[in-house]
Structures are given as structure tokens and as C-alpha cells.
Structure 1
């Protein structure tokens, strides 16, 4: 890591990243979970001064259901970086994705800029994840990791220098709570979504 770690959250007009997203949805009424795969492309547009004068970048998000399909604009988010934090505004909700300077095990409230319940995010260096060999200097941000006999909630993002987000895992599951199956790990409802980088560059 160099300096404060700003290169883990690059913001520049024309930058793009493409992801493959694999999603599994569980429903108590269906014995077989529903599995879907789709693709996401994020493109950084021309920067603009926000309401507080901070330079912000629109993030144009395109989706498609198959590799051969055409991209369709899905939404526009916003991203910006200031000396002590990196922020993404997702569906009008601001999240502090990184807090600078980045140090191993450092923590911050990812919801400090929104009205949600505080959540402690934590940096972890050298944490293993898929495609580790492609991004050897990556770091993980553990946003949530709660588990019990009745539920599991796990949310982790992985960032690589000069690239940004390369992997995300978001899992929220409710296990069977009936007397005959509690503690068995049988999933009643929930969703697991894995986002993995497939391509990146600059237009």
C-alpha cells in the first residue's frame, strides 16, 4: 500500500469495470433454490461539483442477462473521494466504503453519512478470496459477519489498487426454526449474491 491507500478507490472519467454476478434465492415453498447469472458494467462519467462543492463522479450502471446481449442502462449512482474517506451513493444512500489512511484491522462506521443503524466496517489485509492471484495486493473490507443457529448475514467487499472493487459477497439467509430441523443448516429463505470482476479499463 502506498500513502493513504487512495489507489484502492480510483475515480476518473472514462474508467469502467465489468462484473459477473451469480445469485441464489431461497424460498421455503420451493425445494430447489433459484439460480441466476447476469452481468454489470459500471462507467465513470464526467465529474461535477456536488451540493457541498466536492467533486463527484456519476457511475452509470448497465446490465445484461447474457454475455452476448446488449447493455441496458439500469441506474446511475455516484462516487467521490476526499482525504479521509471514499464514498458511494447507491440508490440515494451514501456509504463510506473506505476510510483513509488504510491500516490493517482499522474500523469505521460505514453508515456515518446515512440514517441507517451504525455498522462497523473493518479492513483486513492478506485475506483470501477468489482471483487472489490476479490481484495480489488486494484488501478485504468486512462490512458484516453475523451468524447463529437461525440466520447468517455476511457482506464482504474486496478492493485492489488501481482497480477498485474486484469482488463482493452479500449473503442473508434464514435457517429452518422448526423443532425437528433447527441447527441443521436447512435454509428456509434468503439470498446469496457473488459479484466477481471480469474486465476493467478506460474508455
Structure 2
């Protein structure tokens, strides 16, 4: 009995050890593993450029990036040319668009984009860390106004979901993250890398929100979105389910400007009243030139209360592999 138990525990221990031997450290924090450089390695992308202001200006095409034969980079290492081809769709031939290059140097992955060296990944990659993409081109990491241009490593070794598709073992780098209260605009750019594949996604959005705007110099407000079908509605339901109070509901003439031709105290009282209402219509009230006041209000005729303008670009992987026929 003891012999049988001893044999059982020996076999169990052997089995567990064998299982453990098949589990290897994926080394998720190695920056180089997220951008393999190999001659002939290619990735195909679908690129969609959406013009949110004028849809007719939107474009779509496919991009092919393929790594060529290495050459001496002049620093004791090897640069690899990165041939970039474009085509409208898969039914037409690729046409050479440009030649960039890529290199590992000092634990850095550097891409020369239109001859400008940009630091794209570091080794190791650490979540929450920042690095200066301009390390090799002489540009600053911080603008004179204090804007931080450094890239930020958002996640490493995690799954990333985009448009209902899950990408495993990714590194996500936030390359641009700017916002302005003055223009109600926001710009973000994320680069997503997948382990042992490379760059799989770029998501770049530059969007500003356009609200209903008027100021104290306008005697009348022709085209006021709170008028027309909304003029008899004290509270207006937006298409997205939100609600907004109508600050013109109590006026005899809906298109009359309630803050035109009155003193500053009256203007401020009107603003305060509607800023503190249950469903405030006021997004922002700011000072203009020569003592004027500029107001931005939710636009009840827009789905979300505002109209978006700007651009949205996605560059998403659609294929990858090895092609040794590249020059």
C-alpha cells in the first residue's frame, strides 16, 4: 500500500513538473517583442480616414509595410528599410508610396518616418511610464506652453478590444492626448502593438464639439434651435435620452436675445439662473472682446447636443507574414 501511494505521489509530482515546464515566461515587458524586425516581415493594413465635417472628403485605402535587407546605420548597428506600398483595394496592384526605416538601438525601437527619427518603443515597457519620442531628432519633449508631448505606455501584456475584436498580448501607447476648453476640441492617437507581430492598430481622432453659440452683441437669434418645434417645450428631450431646459421658453419672442442691451448684472443673473437649472443648457460662458459675453449652449437639434467636426483615422491590421522576395 505504501509503495502504491509512493508511486502515485511520484507520478503526480512528475506530471505537475512536466506541466510547469510547458509554461514559459512570455516576457511581456520586452519592448522588442512587440515589434519584431525581420527581413521580409510584412503587415497589411486597412486605413480609413473619415472627415466628420464633410463625408465626401473621407478616404479609404490599404497599406503594406514590409521590411527590407539591412544596411549599416553608421552607429555600429543595422537599419532596415521599411517599404510602404498603397492601393485602393485588393483588386489592384500595390504601388510604392515611400521608404522609411526602422532600427533597434540602445534598447530603443526607432522608426525614421519621412527621414525623421521617432522613438516608438522602449525596452523594457512599463505601464504608466513616459518616454520622449523626439529623443533622436532634437525636438523638445515639452512645448513652450507646457504641453507634454511624451508618449505614455498605457498597458502592457493585456488584451485590447477595438470594434468588437479582441487582440491578445498587446502594448498600448498613447502618443497624443490633447484637449482644449477654448475650442472644445480633443485629439488622441493610440498605437497598439501585438506581441510577436508588431504594430496592429493606430487610432487617431481630432474632434471638436460645435454647440449653439451666441453673444451679448446680437439683438436677435435667427435660427435659434430652441425655437420652432421646441419653442413650446419647457424641457426638451434629446435623441440620446438626455434632457435640457429651454432658456427661451418664457420669452414672448423666442428669437429675442435675452442678454442683449442689458447691464452686466442682468447678464450674469441670467447666466447663473440657467447654469443652476435642473437640466442646464449652458456648456460654457466666457468673456469675449470689449466686455462681451459668449455663451455655448447645448443644441437640442443634435443627437448628443452638439455636432462633431474634425477627422478620425484608423489603421487596422488585415494580414501579416513573410515575403523574402523584397529587394
Give TM-score scaled by structure 2 length: 0.56
Q: Give the aligned partner of residue 277 of structure 2.
A: none
CA apart distance, 1:35: 2.4
Q: Give the aligned partner of residue 41 of structure 2.
A: 15
Query: Which of 189, 199, 206 is equivalent to 1:155?
Result: 189
Change in Cα spacing, 1:93 to 1:168, as seen in structure 2 (3 Å) is same
Higher relative contact order by CA 8 Å / sep ≥ 6: 1 or 2? 1
User: Are residue 201 (structure 1) and residue 324 (structure 2) matched?
Assistant: no
Q: Give the aligned partner of residue 61 of structure 2.
A: 38
CA apart distance, 1:108: 0.6
Kept after mapping to 2: 8 A contact 1:9/1:163 = yes
CA RMSD in angstroms, aligned pairs only: 2.3
Q: Which has the higher strand share?
A: 1
Change in Cα spacing, 1:134 to 1:200, as seen in structure 2 (3 Å) is farther
Greater displacement, 190-199 / 147-156? 147-156
Q: Report matched runs for 1:8-87 at 5 Å.
A: 8-27=34-53, 30=54, 32=55, 34-87=57-110
Aligned equivalents of 1:60 and 1:157: distance in 2? 19
Kept after mapping to 2: 8 A contact 1:59/1:77 = yes
Aligned equivalents of 2:163 and 2:197: distance in 1? 13
Q: Which has the higher helix share?
A: 2
Q: Give the aligned partner of residue 136 of structure 1.
A: 168
Change in Cα spacing, 1:51 to 1:164, as seen in structure 2 (3 Å) is same
Q: Tell me the secondary structure at the aligned position of residue 33 of structure 2.
A: helix
Q: Give the aligned partner of residue 191 of structure 1.
A: 311
Q: Tell me the secondary structure at the aligned position of residue 46 of structure 2.
A: strand
Deviations 1:132-187 (A, max 9, x none): 86531011001112223421110100001110000101122344377246775423
Q: Tell me the secondary structure at the aligned position of residue 13 of structure 1.
A: coil
Give TM-score scaled by structure 1 length: 0.87
Aligned equivalents of 1:136 and 1:33: distance in 2? 35
User: Are residue 176 (structure 1) and residue 210 (structure 2) matched?
Assistant: yes
CA apart distance, 1:53: 2.9
Aligned equivalents of 2:139 and 2:173: distance in 1? 19
**Pair member with larger Rg:** 2
Change in Cα spacing, 1:182 to 1:142, as seen in structure 2 (3 Å) is farther
Kept after mapping to 1: 8 A contact 2:159/2:169 = no
Deviations 1:12-66 (A, max 9, x none): 1010000001111244xx4x46322100001100000113232110000000011
